[in-house]
């Protein structure tokens, strides 16, 4: 689904092999391609690399946030128990 207009798309039709971790936008909203039989619906190697890097960066940020939450909870339990 497009994160802009919620229109559904087939992954293969927009050049993806898995659900994107980052926000994805259809052509009408300023991003990916709509279903098409043309060969240019496949993202370029550079665009694929950008998508992978964005996904990894977002995953790392999420991991750091989860670690901070866990550490904060531990501190609350240690300090609030007595």
Number of H helices, E strands in the chain: 1, 0
d(CA 73, CA 79): 10
Residues 32-70: tens digit of each pLDDT: 454 443 444 577 777 888 888 888 888 888 888 888 888
Gap between the Cα atoms of 81 and 48, Å rounded = 50
Rounded to two decimals, the pTM is: 0.38
């Amino acid at each position: 689904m497009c994160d802009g207009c919620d229109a559904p798309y087939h992954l293969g039709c927009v050049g993806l092999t898995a659900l994107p971790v980052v926000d994805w936008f259809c052509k009408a909203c300023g991003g990916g391609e709509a279903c098409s039989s043309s060969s240019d619906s496949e993202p370029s190697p550079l665009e694929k690399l950008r998508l992978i890097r964005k996904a990894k960066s977002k995953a790392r940020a999420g991991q750091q946030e989860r670690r901070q939450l866990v550490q904060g909870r531990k501190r609350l339990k240690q300090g609030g128990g007595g």
